Amino acid sequence: MVVSKVIARCLLLLAIFIGPLAQADALDDILERGTLRVGVAEFVPWAMPAERGGHVGYDIDLGNKIAQDMGIRAEFKVYDWKDIIQALETGEVDIISGGIVVTPERALRMNFTEPVALSGAGMATHTEMTRDVETLEQLNDPNIVVATVTDTFSEGAARSIFNKAEIRSHANKNDAEKDILEGKAHVYISSLPAVQFLVTNNSDVIDLPLSEPIVGWAEALAVRKGEQELLNFLNSWVIAHTADRWLDATRDYWFETRDWLQEVKR
């Protein structure tokens, strides 16, 4: 009996000391691997196919800078937005880059860093189809079709604001944008920068009735639940590059200028 108690205590001590080693944080795996696997989805100007191959955009710059500060390289994996959270949960990627909106529901599935930016949802309307519309309330009608992207914060905003309209949700932004450009939808709801860019390039077909977001949000980096050391590093990264204004300068480049257009695949 005494021997059994001694063995049990020894096993407990082993579990105490070995347990933390057996449950190494993702940060250790990333540094040992030498690559940071970054999940992104194609939205203007967060991530866009590049003329030289690969992708360019705000999220790409964030991923590369994080990896650079770790002393490793970034590997980008591109998903339809509806699949990106699952990719994080299953370990296909280490982080989701900065374009993901913080919500309480998502916080049950992943851990968010401190916000990297504040943004919001914008609205484009088909000029011809909405020529008689004078108020936002007139768009909240069963005869109005609103296009958006599945599982985005913009979809939630669309369903909340236009709860009487027909919400047509798409797996990716290309199909959603196609709906309004081809006159299959009266309204398109997405991030304000993406909507502004779409209107600028298609001003003969669609317009921007509101220059301000119809609803605001905070954007952050995201990691899997329980990856505390990786989360700690990323929070420190956000704090450091907020203080040195790298985040502001990078945001201004991608969201306030069009100097990057020559980098994007036509």
| DSSP one-letter string for 42-65 | -BTTTBEEBTTSSEESHHHHHHHH
User: Torsions phi, psi of 148, nearest 5?
Assistant: -155, -175
Stated length of the chain: 266
End-to-end CA distance of the chain: 77
Q: Are strands 145-149 and 187-191 parallel, antiparallel or unpaired?
A: parallel
Asked if residue 146 lies in contact with residue 162, where contact means CB atoms within 8 angstroms, the answer is yes
pLDDT-derived band at 8 (thresholds 50, 70, 90) equals very low
Does 3.40.50.720 match the CATH number of domain 120-216?
A: no
List the Cα angle 221/120/127 in 5-degree steps.
135
Q: If you average pLDDT over residues 196-211, what whole number do you get?
A: 93
Contact, 207 vs 201, CB < 8 A? no
Q: Which residue has the tokens 């795996």?
A: 29
pLDDT in tens, 106-153: 999 999 999 999 889 999 999 999 999 999 999 999 999 999 999 898
Confidence of residue 22 (pLDDT cuts 50, 70, 90): very low
What pLDDT score was predicted for residue 249? Answer: 97
How does pLDDT run across 62-96, given as a tens digit for each residue?
999 999 999 999 999 999 988 999 999 999 999 99
In the chain, where the domains are located: 26-118+218-263, 120-216
Q: How far apart are CA 177 and CA 64, in angstroms?
A: 28
Please tell me the predicted confidence (pLDDT) of residue 14: 44
Q: Does domain 26-118+218-263 have CATH number 3.40.50.150?
A: no
Residue type, 146: V
At residue 19, the pLDDT reads: 41
Residue type, 62: L
DSSP string, 123-160: EEEETTTTTT--SGGGGSSTT-EEEEETTSHHHHHHHH
Burial of 21 (0-12, 13-18, 19+ CB in 10 A): exposed
Provide the β-strand partners of residue 39. 77, 96
Classify 76 as helix, strand or coil.
Answer: strand
As a dihedral over the C-alpha atoms of residue 56, residue 62, residue 68, residue 69, rounded to 10 degrees, the angle is 170
- Mean pLDDT estimate for the chain: 90
Residue 4 has pLDDT above 70, yes or no: no
DSSP designation for 265: -
Q: Within the chain, where are the H helices? A: 2-22, 26-33, 58-70, 81-89, 104-107, 153-161, 173-181, 192-201, 228-243, 246-256
Confidence category of residue 24, pLDDT binned at 50, 70, 90: low
The residue-averaged pLDDT of 7-26 equals 48
Asked if residues 129 and 184 have their Cβ atoms less than 8 Å apart, the reply is: no
Sequence letter at residue 170:
H
